[in-house]
Chain A
Amino acid sequence: MSHLRFNHVFLFLLLGSALCAFALPLEYANLVRGWGDGLLWPVALPVRRAAEALTHRMKDPADTASPERGFDPKNAHPDARAEIEHLQAALAQATVQFRELQRLQKDRQLKGDVENYSLPCKVIGADAGTRDAISISGASGDGLAAGMPVVYRDCIVGKLAAVGGGGSQVRLITDRGFRVNGAFGRMKGTQFVPVVTETPLVEGRGGGVMTITNLTKKQVKDVQAGDRVLLQDSEDWPLMLNGYELGRVELIEDHPKQLQFAQITVRPRADLHRLREAMVVARKPDRPGTK
């Protein structure tokens, strides 16, 4: 290809990409996403597991998931030593697997009937750019579609943004511009006590946090750090997910631009970028009177 012709083609591609980036609605862009996510998991998943293991060990080096060694095989009869060491290794492996199954079982326990309508999906990786999103293994063949809610234990994770044949992308609730209505509450002993305010609009800020800026300082006078922010939005979310946790109040401060308003920082209980598995609410309960 001649120099001049290549320059034309490249300029056309550059302008085309700029046009797509600025003018093309995200819904159309998401039509081509999700198909390739499944192709990357052979590398992305082991890398992610290695990063998880390293992070876990750096936090708690004592937790090696190995059984306690009350007996030193070196003191055993030489014939029995090899057998003992082999059995100890097998026991250590079985212990790790058992703990993993326990964790998995705990992660899949959801509040109410949600578990019956959900599909567990492995998290392959996180967004390859600067957005708050994760890629999961569930695909269109599993009955998933864009817009389905995603949860983890009793927390809201986000919604499916792109679903393809190889995987799906989940837009997290902490992603910039993600908006959802909520409600405040706190635990007093074993009782959950709502904190009555106007409906807070919880908006993602990116970087794993959300903010509430639509309430005045007077309206949030009863809200404290540590209070829970729960989903209260039956228009865009299934009713059975109302009451699921969005996050915890981390900080209450004055709005930087509108002094009469408060700015409440909310952070999800779990680091949503580091989830290993998420549950997609793929079905809705049947309405009474319908088949």
Chain B
Amino acid sequence: MRWLSFAILAYLIIAIQMGLSGFLDWGGASPNLVLPVAVFIAINARREQALAGAFVLGALQDLFTQQPFGLYAFSYGLMSLFVVGARPAVYRDHPLTHFFVTLLGGLTTGAVVLLNDWVYPMLHHTATGSGLSVSRLLWGALYSALLAPFLLGALARIKRVFAFHGTRAMMSSGRFARSGDRSI
């Protein structure tokens, strides 16, 4: 994977997320535009690059939020482990794959955020606060998943820019997994 292209994509999507935050809210739910990009990297890149790329994307997002640092890095790293493991069984360019994988990523991230919201005040003896709304997180994950096919569809058109390993072979067949394909 070309890391320069990845860096530019990370910069753009985090800046867009910051710029649009507050304007895309719908019924109290807000989308996470960085998550579909992490899914895109996790689905297409080689195993090590997918894991590292998703982790780095999460760490970069952590810099621009008031959440405890490392929360998104951990969430996206965990999500990428699941995605990399499930890659042989999915059509990576199919919109339904984008939807469900992003939904899975959103639910994973939501679970980590909820756990943190519960444990952090106890560990640091701070005010227990009001408690995060579970429904807000669920709707946010669904919202992000609904936007994912559009975002990932657009990114799929410029996949060449990222030079993912084995892209040509996968684009010609339309499937990632072949028996004996050691690049997985």
User: How many residues of chain A get a CB closer than 8 Å to chain B's CBs?
Assistant: 63
Interface: B86 (CB within 8 A): no
Inter-chain contact A131/B66, CB cutoff 8 Å: yes
CB interface residues, B 104-119, toward A, < 8 Å? 112-113, 116-117, 119
Interface: B173 (CB within 8 A): no
Q: Could you say which of A20, A47, A127, A161 contacts B15, with CB atoms under 8 Å apart?
A: A47
Which residues in B have their C-beta under 8 angstroms from that of A162? 66
Q: Could you say which of B12, B22, B52, B62 contacts A126, with CB atoms under 8 Å apart?
A: B22
| Segment of A67-75, A175-183, A189-197, A234-242 in the binding face | A175-183
Interface: A104 (CB within 8 A): no
Most chain A beta-carbon contacts within 10 A, residue among B11, B23, B140: B23
Shortest Cβ gap from B135 to chain A (Å): 11
Inter-chain contact B28/A207, CB cutoff 8 Å: yes
Known: A1-B48, A129-B72. A14 touches B65 (CB 8 A): no
Which residues in A have their C-beta under 8 angstroms from that of B5? none
Inter-chain contact B55/A135, CB cutoff 8 Å: no
Known: A21-B116, A22-B120, A211-B130. A48 touches B19 (CB 8 A): yes
Q: Could you say which of B21, B52, B127 contacts A177, with CB atoms under 8 Å apart?
A: B127
Most chain B beta-carbon contacts within 10 A, residue among A25, A126, A273: A126
Which residues in B have their C-beta under 8 angstroms from that of A204? 130
Known: A128-B14, A128-B65. A21 touches B19 (CB 8 A): no
Interface: B69 (CB within 8 A): yes
Which residues in A have their C-beta under 8 angstroms from that of B123? 22-23
Known: A22-B123, A127-B64, A169-B66. A177 touches B77 (CB 8 A): no
| Segment of A36-44, A111-119, A223-231, A277-285 in the binding face | A36-44
Main secondary structure, interface of B, reads helix
Residue of B nearest to A170 (CB): B66
Bound complex: CA of A17 vs CA of B127, how far in Å? 23
Inter-chain contact A51/B20, CB cutoff 8 Å: yes
Interface: B78 (CB within 8 A): yes
Interface: B68 (CB within 8 A): yes
Inter-chain contact A40/B119, CB cutoff 8 Å: no
Known: A10-B51, A25-B124, A274-B22. A44 touches B68 (CB 8 A): no
Inter-chain contact B70/A47, CB cutoff 8 Å: no
Which residues in A have their C-beta under 8 angstroms from that of B62? 29, 129
Which residues in A have their C-beta under 8 angstroms from that of B120? 22
Bound complex: CA of A50 vs CA of B138, how far in Å? 28
Contact residues of B with A, CB < 8 Å? 11-12, 14-23, 25, 28, 30, 32, 34, 48, 51-52, 55, 58-59, 61-74, 77-78, 112-113, 116-117, 119-121, 123-124, 126-127, 129-130, 132-133, 136-137, 140
Sorted nearest first, the 5 A-B pairs with minimum C-beta distance are A273-B22, A125-B18, A47-B19, A20-B70, A129-B65
Contact residues of A with B, CB < 8 Å? 1, 3, 6, 10, 13-14, 16-26, 29-30, 32-33, 36-37, 39-48, 51-52, 55, 124-131, 133, 135, 161-162, 169, 171, 175-177, 179, 203-207, 211, 271, 273-274
20 more A-B residue pairs beyond the given contacts A1-B48, A20-B69, with a C-beta to C-beta distance below 8 A: A14-B78, A17-B74, A21-B73, A21-B74, A22-B116, A24-B68, A36-B63, A40-B11, A44-B15, A52-B23, A125-B64, A126-B22, A127-B21, A127-B64, A128-B34, A171-B66, A176-B132, A177-B121, A179-B127, A206-B132
